[in-house]
């Protein structure tokens, strides 16, 4: 286990490597490997463990009765997933979690995370505060997706999403964490229609695009 890496994650931030090592056995930690495309959690599954991505990337998906897929989030190295469901005993997942590339995941028993030991260790309390901060941040991320999918036009959704990425990355030249299909799923639009609109936006001088790399131009008509 790379305790130096864990100490730099948001979940274990502020804890030393020695404190993390001491906590992991108490938290029922278990590491698993998943190949690209493997399902980590199925919709409908009750879960007890919070997943922390040690390597690779996983994506959170919602698939309706007719098989229509909506990409809700992409979770990379050092980030966590399933924490909301894991903290509510018996609550079935309403989404699926899939490894979008080969990934190593560290699972932590949520009940043990939330229940401090009798000695009320300072580092365990810090872990709980970190988890609360992450949950609040994820609420902002979900709210942000609502903003990006609110515009009725595909162009409006693209402008909203790309504008946010440019602001958060501090540059008009950005790289997004989605491929074309994943971006279409995230914005809840058809992939062909999305590609067609991106072509029109390039023609209008609004941007340049190469796969998931964009250069935004200040050329609003």
Helix, strand, coil tally for the chain in percent (to 5): 40, 25, 35
Mean pLDDT of 167-189: 93
pLDDT digits (tens, 9 = 90+) for 133-155: 999 988 888 888 899 999 999 99
Confidence of residue 118 (pLDDT cuts 50, 70, 90): low
CATH C-level class of 3-137? mainly beta
pLDDT digits (tens, 9 = 90+) for 21-35: 988 988 989 999 999
One DSSP character per residue, 29-66 reads: -EEEEE-TT-EEE-TT-B--EEEEEEES-EEEEEE-TT
Q: Answer yes or no: pTM beyond 0.85.
A: no
CATH 2.60.120.10 in the chain, residue ranges: 3-137
Alpha-carbon span 6 to 15, nearest angstrom: 9
Q: Please give the sequence-ordered ranges of beta strands (E in DSSP) within the chain, or none if there are none.
A: 30-34, 39-41, 49-55, 58-63, 69-75, 80-81, 96-99, 103-109, 173-175, 207-210, 213-216
Average pLDDT, the chain: 92
Residue 68 is given by DSSP the state -
CA 220 vs CA 75, 133, 152, 201: distances in Å: 33, 37, 19, 10
Instruction: Provide the pLDDT for residue 120.
Output: 56
CATH C-level class of 150-216? mainly alpha
CATH 1.10.10.10 in the chain, residue ranges: 150-216
Is 122 a residue whose pLDDT tops 90? Answer: no
């Amino acid at each position: 286990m790379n305790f130096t890496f864990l100490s730099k994650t948001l979940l274990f931030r502020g804890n030393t490597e020695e404190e993390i090592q001491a906590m992991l056995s108490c938290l029922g930690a278990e590491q698993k490997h998943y190949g690209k495309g493997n399902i980590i959690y199925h919709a409908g599954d009750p879960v007890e463990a919070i997943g922390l991505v040690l390597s690779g990337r996983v994506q959170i998906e919602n698939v309706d009765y007719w098989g229509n897929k909506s990409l809700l989030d992409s979770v990379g190295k050092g980030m966590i997933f399933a924490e909301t469901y894991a903290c509510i005993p018996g609550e079935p997942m309403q989404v699926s979690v899939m490894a979008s590339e080969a990934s190593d995941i560290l699972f932590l028993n949520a009940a043990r995370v939330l229940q401090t030991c009798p000695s009320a260790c300072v580092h365990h309390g810090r872990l709980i505060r970190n988890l609360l901060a992450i949950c609040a941040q994820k609420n902002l991320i979900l709210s942000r997706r609502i903003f990006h999918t609110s515009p009725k036009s595909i162009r409006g959704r693209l402008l909203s999403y790309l504008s946010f990425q440019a602001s958060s990355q501090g540059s008009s030249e950005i790289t997004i964490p989605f491929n074309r299909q994943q971006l279409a799923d995230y914005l809840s639009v058809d992939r062909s229609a999305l590609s067609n609109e991106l072509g029109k936006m390039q023609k209008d001088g609004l941007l340049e695009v190469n796969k998931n790399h964009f250069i935004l131009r200040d050329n609003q008509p």
